[in-house]
Chains A and B, each alone.
Chain A
Amino acid sequence: MSRLLVCPPDYFSIDYEINPWMRLSNRVDPDLARAQWQGLMTVLERQAGAVLERLAPVPGLPDMVFTANAGVVVGRRAVPSRFRHPERRREEPHFEAWFRAHGYEVTKLEEGLYFEGAGDLLGFPEAVPARWFGGYRQRSEVRAYDRLGDLFGCEIVPVELVDSRFYHLDTCFCPLSGGDLLYYPPAFDRYARAVIEDQISEGRRLAVPEEEALRFACNAVCVGRHVVLPEGCPRTAQLLRALDYETHAVALDEFMKAGGSAKCLTLALD
């Protein structure tokens, strides 16, 4: 069973510009956004078999819909995010309160040590030993992974993100349940590319083409053998099907206006 934390897009809009995708002039259609979000939820619940936990949206916090940035959860322990941009820092107490209310042991990173949750920390928790990758340079800081590695007692390999369009690791890197990886290599520096190539064998690395990477093909949600990804990524879907994943394309372009897609709208809880 896969539990995901989600937050309805009641207050979702473009109120500021903190990544290259956001344009204040590019207004969100609230009805369409709600319909697209509902569409994603339906696929996740009905087709992928995920269990959804809903977080109450808060007026004035348009990006709370992107729960991937609430923090990171490992077992019963949760580490809430420390956002780089002040616009999103106001979300922190709400995410923290949710973790506490749901019985998680909450560990907070020191103030000023930026870490944007499962948006930047992704891995293969089922692998032995578990392997984690931490994106840094755009939003999260490399030092955060040192702290989190100590906290979780695992190895977190920091990987540098070099393209501001792929500002979170989950925009260009998607570990899949079978130990495979969907990713967009040019979003990483050459050291990170070498590390990824070293750690994940060639047949398990699925490099998505640029045009689909720019549609956030890597911002996919993997539940078992189901992969839910934004529509308009046929070549990525083909790569996934070749490895026996069942793909589900969902229209999410209202959320792309804010630089987010399927994965950004969920947080894996266990």
Chain B
Amino acid sequence: MALAQETVLLHGHIIDSLILAKVLDTILMMGGAFDLSEVRIGATRGEPSSARIFVRASSPALLTDILDAIQPHGATIERESDCTIESAPADGILPEGFYATTHLPTQIRVQGRWLDVEAIEMDVAIRVDQEWASARAVPMGEVRKGDRIVTGRDGIRVLPLERPKERDVFSFMEAQVSSERPHGHIILDVARRMTSLRAARAAGQGTSDVLLAGGPAIIHAGGRDALTWLIKAGFIQVLFCGNALAAHDMEAHLFGTSLGYGLTAGRAVPHGHEHHLRTINRIRAIGGIEEAVRSGVVTEGIMAACVRRGVRLVLAGTIRDDGPLPGVITDSVKAQAAMRAALPSVGLALLVASTLHAVATGNLLPATVPTVCVDVNPSVPTKLADRGSFQAVGLVMDAASFLRELARELGWKA
């Protein structure tokens, strides 16, 4: 829909005179769409009001028609200027007045043309290429001396999210967190999205991968079988986790325990607390997770399914990790970069039972990616929303219950 857009301003006694209503009606009647980005209502009768209206149309011709129709009612096109650009003073240092991004689709105006900012994510800067032909979101640490960085606020527009065509839980596009809401329909909507994304992937369409970022509670709580099935059935293409989820998954296979607790009997096993250390040690001896799967040491579980299905796995370490397992990225900046590199194909994100990975992934995801955050602790989805990932739907429930219910909706027989 958003093939052509323009921001217009309306100022004066636009409320009582119904001028604002008329302008908005005109835009809609002509087949356009609008977002009111700012409305300031005069405090007294004598004081004028003003509105900033973002007008969208399906074609530049229709946009021109709409603008022609609303200009006689006082709508003026916002004066446009190019964005300002300054050189990065040194590697890893942004110019003082750098523009800090949101995770919403963003455009910048360069030499009179509007460019889409590629790979948008929140809280980074925007770099323009040497040919002035493209722009990309860039984290502070990746900036090189002399890079052209967007500064100030002129010539930048942040586009509101389009309401998705699908009428499901994601179409509200706002973080909703409640432990009192029924979960069933949300899980059903997630399952529907995953089914349609799988079909889109089969048809060769982009941004149709499903990402799961998860914590070890998935294993402890009994969600391992369901997640393994989801991966085997081709519903998940990208997995972000830490050392623990991988270690406990393979511990479960090798020792039948998760952090020392017998997964079937539910009791602490003698010396069980050593099992994850012994698992990590064994995998280190073999050389890596993939080698362990390929050599037949690890034959089932989440890691085995990932290796067999070619799931992109990013293991990000933390300061409390044991080992860690080979492949765990212990440099958090490098881990962030590896996660970022796996995101462009993602069309749905499931953040399950991990505060750290949920927030880290939320920071990297553009607002256009539907996101579900599942945690028994309501503070996790709340935290995610507070940090700006307003598109994430919060689900307060146990990770294993979520994964099992989701897998059942998708055809898991267990």
Chain B 2-32 per-residue mask, 1 if CB under 8 angstroms from chain A, else 0? 0000000001110011110110000000000
Interface residues of B (CB under 8 A from A): 11-13, 16-19, 21-22, 45-46, 48, 72-74, 76
Q: Given A143, A155, A194, which contacts B18 in the complex, CB threshold below 8 Å? A: A194
A137 within 8 A of B: yes
In the complex, what residues of B have CB within 8 A of residue A158's CB? 12-13, 17, 19, 73-74
In the complex, what residues of B have CB within 8 A of residue A150's CB? 48
Residue among A141, A154, A191, A199 with most chain B CB within 10 A: A191
Chain A 122-152 per-residue mask, 1 if CB under 8 angstroms from chain B, else 0? 0000000100000011000111011001100
Q: Given A145, A160, A192, A194, which contacts B13 in the complex, CB threshold below 8 Å? A: A145
Q: Is the CB of B16 within 8 A of A195?
A: yes
Q: Is the CB of A149 within 8 A of B46?
A: yes
- Give A227 to B18 CA distance when docked, in angstroms: 31
Q: Is the CB of B46 within 8 A of A155?
A: yes
In the complex, what residues of B have CB within 8 A of residue A191's CB? 17-19, 21-22
Q: Is the CB of B73 within 8 A of A156?
A: no
Q: Is the CB of A149 within 8 A of B13?
A: yes
Q: Is the CB of B74 within 8 A of A146?
A: yes
Q: Is the CB of A160 within 8 A of B73?
A: yes
Residue of B nearest to A189 (CB): B22
| Distance to closest chain A CB from B289 (angstroms) | 67
Known: A142-B73, A153-B46. A195 touches B11 (CB 8 A): no
Residue among B12, B21, B46 with most chain A CB within 10 A: B12
In the complex, what residues of B have CB within 8 A of residue A157's CB? 13, 16-17
In the complex, what residues of B have CB within 8 A of residue A159's CB? 17
| A-B complex: 3 closest residue pairs judged by Cβ atoms | A146-B12, A191-B18, A142-B74
Known: A149-B12, A160-B73, A191-B22. A129 touches B17 (CB 8 A): no
Q: Is the CB of A142 within 8 A of B46?
A: no
- Give A205 to B123 CA distance when docked, in angstroms: 58
Q: Is the CB of A149 within 8 A of B48?
A: yes
| Distance to closest chain A CB from B28 (angstroms) | 14
In the complex, what residues of A have CB within 8 A of residue B17's CB? 157-159, 191-192, 195
| Distance to closest chain B CB from A190 (angstroms) | 9
- List which A153-207 residues lie within 8 A (CB) of chain B: 153-160, 189, 191-192, 194-195, 198-199
| Distance to closest chain A CB from B17 (angstroms) | 4
Known: A156-B13, A195-B18. A142 touches B48 (CB 8 A): no
- Give A189 to B18 CA distance when docked, in angstroms: 11
- Give A137 to B73 CA distance when docked, in angstroms: 8
